């Protein structure tokens, strides 16, 4: 049973710490910035891959600190993403984040994670998060591809029209829901 609670975060209002700057960290920061281009990300890494450095070049909301991780790096942070293949270090950071009530994602270590970076389907204002509860990122990726192909590009226009309609509706909440449901019923037939 998947007991995860899906939420969407406004990363431009939070501070993310990414520890590591190798190929896995590049995957993580790419996912974060693709979904939230204004995400504030502090990166701490003693070794920085050229591909990582190239990717973050010109990213105004990303700051890079080329050095080893220190506990003080957790100050003022809301989320921590750890891209390390060092089990002892991963556990050390896990304990530090627990002590500070910080949410942690450890790349490829679902048992150490408080949250996962799922696959994202995005069509304009529509965003769908997909999770396999850490069991199979490959299946999540295939579902993402399927939904990207299935959803029409015009869905964003429909969302805009529904927003306008919602703004114009009068009455109590239940009346508005009934009216909106009547208009959207045809979308999923």
Alpha-carbon Rg of the chain, whole angstroms? 20
- Alpha helix positions (H), 45-86: 50-56
In the chain, what are the domain boundaries? 11-117, 154-184
Residue with the larger pLDDT of the pair 65 and 177:
65
Is residue 81 within 8 Å of 56, Cβ to Cβ?
A: no
Q: What are 119-155's pLDDT values in tens digits? A: 899 998 999 999 888 788 889 999 999 999 999 888 8
Q: 114: pLDDT confidence band, cut at 50, 70 and 90?
A: very high
Q: CB–CB of 63/77 below 8 Å?
A: no
Phi, psi of 39 (to 5 degrees): -60, 135
Q: Provide mean pLDDT across the span 34-62.
A: 97
Q: Specify the pairing of strand 126-130 against strand 119-123.
A: antiparallel
Token pair belonging to 2? 């998947």
**CATH architecture group of domain 11-117:** 3-Layer(aba) Sandwich (3.40)
**Whether the predicted model's global pTM rises above the 0.75 cut:** yes
Is the distance from CB of 162 to CB of 186 less than 8 angstroms? no
Written as six digits, the tokens of 123 are 């069509």
């Amino acid at each position: 049973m998947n007991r995860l609670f899906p939420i969407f975060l406004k990363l431009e209002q939070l501070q993310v710490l990414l520890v590591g700057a190798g190929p896995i960290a590049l995957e993580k920061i790419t996912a974060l910035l693709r979904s939230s281009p204004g995400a504030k990300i502090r990166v701490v890494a003693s070794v920085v891959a050229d591909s990582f450095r190239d990717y973050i070049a010109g990213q105004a909301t990303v700051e890079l600190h080329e050095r080893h991780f220190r506990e003080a790096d957790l100050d003022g942070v809301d989320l921590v993403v750890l891209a390390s293949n060092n089990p002892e270090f991963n556990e050390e950071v896990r304990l530090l984040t627990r002590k500070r009530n910080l949410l942690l994602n450890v790349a490829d270590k679902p048992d150490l994670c408080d949250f996962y970076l799922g696959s994202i389907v995005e069509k304009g204002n529509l965003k769908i998060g997909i999770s396999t509860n850490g069991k199979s990122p490959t299946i999540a990726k295939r579902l993402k591809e399927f939904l990207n192909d299935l959803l029409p590009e015009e869905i964003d226009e429909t969302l805009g029209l529904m927003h306008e309609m919602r703004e114009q509706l009068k009455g109590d909440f239940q009346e508005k829901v009934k009216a909106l449901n009547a208009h959207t019923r045809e979308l999923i037939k």
